[in-house]
Structure formats: C-alpha cells, structure tokens
Amino acid sequence: MSSPASTHTLESPRTATSTRLVSLDVLRGITIALMILVNNSGPYAWWPFRHSDWNGWTPTDLVFPTFLFLVGISIVFSTESRLSRGATKASLLSHNVRRFVVLFLLGLVVNGFPFFHLATLRIYGVLQRIAICFLIGSVLYLWDRQRISSKITLIIVALLGYWILMRWVPVPGYGMPVRDIPLLDKNGNLTAYIDRHIFPGRLYEGVRDPEGLLSDLPSMATLLLGMLTGIWLRTKRTLGQKCAGMLASGVLCIVLGELWNPWFPINKKLWTSSFVLFTAGVALVSLGLCYWAIEIKGWKKGWTFFWLVFGTNAITAYVISELLAAGLWAVRTGPHTSLDYSIYRHLYQPIHPPVIGSLCYSISFVLVCWIPVVFLYRKKIFIKI
C-alpha cells in the first residue's frame, strides 16, 4: 500500500519530459517523520511536540493538515499520470474506491490493535479521515479535472458553511453559541454533539473526537487547497513562477487564517475554517521552500535521503509506528508498567532536563520505524493498495 499522496510524474515546461517531483516526496517524508515523533513523544514532551489543548496552535498541530494538503496535490498528479497511460475514468474510480476501503480498514486495525475490543472500538481516526477526503476528492477531480472555479467555490462553501453551522446552529441541551455558551465550547459544540450520538463510547476523548464526522467538511477544504496547488504545479509556468506563486499564496492564507481567528478561533481538534487557511498557508510555504531548494537549486544529494525513505512509503511508515507503539504499550513488564515505559525509564529518564530525555526517546522511536522502511526503499518496494 502506498500513501494516497504518492508521487508521480509531471510535465516540465522547460524540458517537456517527465521528471520526479522530489520536493513533494521530501516534504511528505518530513511530515510523516514529525507525525511519528509527536505521536510518541514520551512523558515530558516539550511544548512544540504537544497538541494545543484547545484554541490556538503548536507546531504539532500543523503536521496532519500538511499531510492531507499533500494528498490533494497528489490526487492531481496520480490521476493525470494514470490517464496519460491509458487508464479509463471507470477504472480509476474503481481503484480509488478500493484504496478508500483499505485505508479505512487499516485505520480500524490501528485503532483496535492488539486487543480489538469491538464494543468500544474507535471508528474515527487519522487514516479514516484521509480515506474519506481522498475518496471524495478523487471523485470530484475525475468529474471536473481542470476547472479552478468549481474547486474555489467548494472551498468557500465548506469553510463558510462550517463556520455558520458551528456559530449559528443551536446545540441541543446547551443553547446558542456565543449567546448561551462560549463559541467552540469543548463539550457544547455541534461537532462533539453529533459524534456523541453517532458513536457513543467510541470517541478518542470520551465525549469528543478530533477526527469527528462534521469536521470532515473543512478537512475537505484542506485537500481541495492542495488540489489547486497540484493544478498550479502542472501549468506551463517556469519553476521560479511556480515557487513564487506557492510562497505568495501561502503567506496570504496565513494572514487570512489569522484575520478570521478572533471570530472563529484556530482549533485543530475541531479543524476550524481559520485553522484550514492557516495550516494550508504553512504547507504552501513549506512546499515552496522545498521546491526552491530541490527543484530549482538542485540540492538533492545527501540530506534528502532520510526523508525520501519515509516519503515514498508514508502510510506504511505510519502504520508501522502505530502498531509498534500499541504493541510496546500492550506488553506488561510489571503490574502497572508497560514495555514502552520501561524502555524510557531505563534509557532516557536519566537524561536531563526531562524534555530532552523525552525528545531523545521520540527520535529513537522514529529511527526504529525508519529501519523497515529503508529496507523497503533499498529493495525498491513501494507498497501500494
């Protein structure tokens, strides 16, 4: 199985030949490495490696939306690449549905491993959100490939529609946001209310879930912004123009997200509309910098290898990390002690200050996950759905 954001080829206006967009692989690899690191951050994680408690953001909150943004870019590349090789739209649709099913089921495996308590199994999750957004986005792109206006319209509808729902729809049992309860109240928001009634007892935080159903709506806007970027990268502009366009658009999105923040706060757990704009801006700037360094300056040797290993088998690396973390937690080394904590206590707890010990544990975990993926990379095995 490969990442839904797996890299394909694109037409270079300068050479009219297919070249690999290495910068996309590299940024995806950086994103997955950070995702693994912050998900296994040890007991004394430094604040940049923790999610914000509610409103606001930390660097950790940027990781998942960046990956979803890259999925949108690669829907464009993968679709165009397959169509150019003679695939039909019907065959692509069938393939994308299978990819959705496998990704969603993998998400359930990750949530349940190793005990699979079916009565309380979490249905939502990171892979499930990727699967849902990927399926909808790929179908939309097959239906309307090149028209920019339709995608911009859908982004506006998703962002404004979500804001209207969260701001102006009364929450049963709580009342009207702003008037009766604070806007984005932790328990009294529409997203949490819906999730509690759909999957009671199956939510990540008990009464709410950061990958809830209603917040898939603004998540689609994140993917669509990536899709627009993919279309931009396939235009016949120079590499410099493409890079400048991404950087300028990224700064604009960051500014728009911050401007909306006072009225609809940046919030990762609810994936608010301001969060979508802000994180898409960060993703655009990050990709623009990678694009400049790799595609324009040609800095591909040495430093890119580590990230390419993760980036070319991204979902595989993520699944390995999640199963490994669950397995280490499940193995008991004492009445109240798990194997992961025992490893931390003996090897990393003596390191001071504690935040450095936790960071060393996180980095070690990332390196352990890199080992099987680099084996696949060396063997040129890129696991696909």
* Contact indicator for 1, 106 with CB cutoff of 8 Å: yes
Q: What are phi and psi of 294, to 5 degrees?
A: -95, -50
Query: Per residue in 231-254, is it b (16+ CB within 10 Å) or e — as a string?
Result: bbbbeeeeeeebbebbbebbeebb
The mean per-residue pLDDT over the stretch 200-222 comes to 97
Confidence tier at 14 by pLDDT (50, 70, 90): very low
The more confidently predicted of residues 201 and 10 is 201
pLDDT score at 221 = 98
> In the numeric block, which tokens belong to residue 44?
């004394």
For range 77-98, the mean pLDDT: 94
* pLDDT, position 43: 87
Q: Is the pLDDT of residue 84 over 90?
A: yes
Report the C-alpha gap between 52 and 206 in whole angstroms: 18
What is the per-residue pLDDT across 19-46, written as a single tens digit (0 to 9) for each?
579 999 999 999 999 999 999 988 899 9
C-alpha of 84 from chain center: 28
Instruction: Identify the pLDDT of residue 385.
Output: 57
**pLDDT higher than threshold 70 for residue 53:** yes
- Tokens encoding 156: 């506006």
Kindly state the average pLDDT of the residues 163-173. 97
State yes or no: cis peptide before 114, omega within 30 of 0: yes
SS3 state at 309: helix
Task: Check residue 146 and give its pLDDT.
Answer: 79
Quote the pLDDT of residue 383: 84
pLDDT of 5 higher than 80 = no
- Other residues' Cβ atoms within 10 Å of the Cβ of residue 54: 13
Q: What is the pLDDT of residues 330-382, one digit of tens each?
A: 999 988 899 999 999 999 999 999 999 999 999 999 999 999 999 999 999 99
Question: What are the residue ranges spanned by the domains of the chain?
Answer: 9-378
Query: What does pTM read for this prediction?
Result: 0.93
When pLDDT is averaged across residues 260-275 and rounded to a whole number, the result is 98
**pLDDT recorded at residue 332:** 92
Please compute the mean of the pLDDT values over residues 268-279 and round it to a whole number: 98
| pLDDT on residue 318 | 97
23-46 core/surface letters (b: 16 or more CB in 10 A; e: else): bbbbbbbbbbbbbbbbbbbbebbb
Please give the distance of CA 2 from its chain centroid, rounded to a whole number: 15
Return all residues near 318 (Cβ < 8 A) that are at least 6 apart.
Answer: 32, 35, 36, 126, 127
> Is residue 187 helix, strand or coil?
coil
Least confident of 7-11, 115-119, 252-256, 332-336: 7-11
Q: What is the pLDDT of residue 41?
A: 87
Q: What integer best gives the mean pLDDT of the chain? A: 93
